[in-house]
Structure 1
Amino acid sequence: MTNTSTRRSGRLLLVWGLLVVAANLRASLTGVGPLLDRVQSELGLTPAVAGLLNTLPLLAFAALSPLVPALTARWGAERLLGGALAVLTLGIAVRWIPTAAGLFGGTVLIGAGVAVGNVLLPGLIRRDFPTRVGLLTSAYATVMGGVAAVASGVAVPIAEAAPGGWHTALGCWVLFALVALLVWLPQLRAPRPTGPARNGQRLPWSSGLAWAVTGFMGLQSLGFYVAVTWLPQVFQDNGSDPATAGWLLFLFQVVAVLTSLAAPGAMRRARDQRGLAAACSAVLLAGWLGLFAQPHWALLWTVLLGLGGGACLVLALAFIGLRAQDAASAGALSAMTQSVGYLLAAVGPVVFGLLHSPGPDGWRTPLLLMSLATAAQLAVSLAAGRGTVAAAILDATSARRPDRTETSPS
């Protein structure tokens, strides 16, 4: 009885730890956008240099994600995630320093810490809660998105009311990161990996299903980061005042969070996720096409983009665990999807902005591009919604390392 109670409390502590970690994976990033004009003005940054504050973390995600499986095999997921939280905490503290060097140096450290957390959480859920992948993925996506929405909403009020202005608004999240680090400390007692597991898991580059999951992750990430970067400007150029445009962006994130709560129930009722992923992608497509055709109906298109985007995020994260046979395969798939996916997400806002032209129809070309990208997401969702990647991983590795018991053909 005591052992059962201890195991139950240990699993509950692990769930709380995962959720508190998830709460820190976006808040330090989404609070930057509302303060960007203040940062640029005070530090004398050009618009291109200031834009790096949004791009650098995504590039860090893309660069570091492929390294996480090897680091996990060497140190263990729990210790590696603890180290990532320490780096994240340090990055937020460094960004509090009122200099350009502190701002950009801290942003790089934040990107590195979040990159590791992004990859590890799906694998940990797949390893420790294999029958609750959809539910826990939805829970951590909801917490992550909810705190991110709050961070973007309170950034300006904190900057206006607190000593230190925008420095405090960006640096105050160090307290939240410290809480996550303390909550995660009990997990560091997990044993380090030994034996063959230390060799790590190869990324499934040769798997068509893995590429389908990667495409779905990348395209929905592209849509999200284009939305949080450019939607306020699109709304303003079509008649909304700045305050209304900001509230519409907040509404987009809140609707996405609420939708993510409903995703697990829909996933449980379906035999696989193809229909659900296609339907949610179609809702997203309707939102982008609506902005293209009737941009003045901003409220309606904001709600549609939030409805589709929240569900697609949960599905993209859940695919990592659902398409993998075990935790190691989930870690490898997570590294691949998030590396390529966030590289695509980093390029998306830049291309969207470059395609903008002066005049009343200046956003039509970039909005058409987003509609085409979402149509591609809808198509790839039909492949990403079922199957297992593990066999492809084994085939890819056996090509390089044949089994010793295999006999040569006669």
Structure 2
Amino acid sequence: MPVTHAPEADVLQRQDPELAGILLGERERQASSLQLIAAENFTSPAVLAALGSPLANKYAEGYPGARHHGGCEIVDVAERLAVERARALFHADHANVQSHSGSSAVLAAYAALLRPGDTVLALGLPDGGHLTHGSRTNFSGRWFDFVPYGVDAETGLIDHEQVRTLARSHRPKAIVCGSISYPRHIDHAFFREVADEVGAYLIADAAHPIGLVAGGAAPSPVPYADVVCATTHKVLRGPRGGMILCGAELAERVDRAVFPFTQGGAQMHTIAAKAVAFGEAATPAFAAYAHQVVANARVLAAGLAAEGFAVTTGGTDTHLVTADPAPLGADGRTARGRLAAAGMVLDCCALPHGAAVGGTAAARGLRLGTAAVTTQGMGEEEMTRIAKLMAGVLRDDVEVRAVREEVRELARAFPPYPG
């Protein structure tokens, strides 16, 4: 990455060569393999520069104009800029950009709207829900009474009738719409209708599609949800972090839920990097990128289906694809390991209704995305090639070493940071 050529990198090389070697190793890994994890992307050099800026030194508990520390005049300007850019980008009344992660944003949203023991309706984890949507290993499942809805066994699409029935039966305090592995657009208008019918808050967890929303390649949840939680990385291509969007009537509650209730001092270097990313996402170039991400994902999904993978929902509307590799003779975990050995890095995921080898919870599918490879400049032709490479590895049609070399050649042809 270019950052390794900066003067700061030279200082690190002299002062801590061991750590510098680790960073160079990661740079080589990213440049020589295919990053197909749906939640990852390559930030711009400008975002990296903000992350490594002197703002990392500043302690800034509180909000602009009301900090608990002195000397915040400059960082206040940076945070106000990030907030205004986020509001304009997503057409939101209010934006909080301090959340350290997507999970932190969801925690703050729950803290703003709910009390321990409240009932919440959310997509079940086996069907693509996130840990913050009711997992017993997470604060959400321990503090709130989550009722899961699911997807249709035949289509893999969210079962809207089930959502409505469960909402009428349980009368939840909040309904969460969003997923970590649902490849289709969420019908936010439907969820708003159901939430209004039962008097519930609507929380949209848009961690995955928010970058597509910014680029006009996916429908926005902002006009429908009371609170929208999101990450600033993934397709949005910013630093690792979270944000919350909401209406003016909930702004104070949301802000207090972030600080002082769930977090301490804001990470000002990250907030500055978020401002950079929001600015980049407001450009025509980013809109073209977002649409290309979706086009690539659709071609990749079609290519995987043609090679024998069972692609859930029959395709995708977004940047991510989920598929069952069982027809090629492997479960998700085995497939992930073999593909990683060939230089194709992706994730396992749960498959609805046990649709995997043996039908057990331990046998999982694959989740992959096109955000990072699209940032590198790859297009539909490369997506078809990647699908063939994946199938060849799982079928044992070719030696893994040969595929690894081809993957390395492909990655080198599209460097994430040219020059």
The structure whose residues are more often helix, as a share, is 1
Fold shared, TM-score > 0.5 on shorter chain:
no
TM (normalized to structure 2)? 0.30
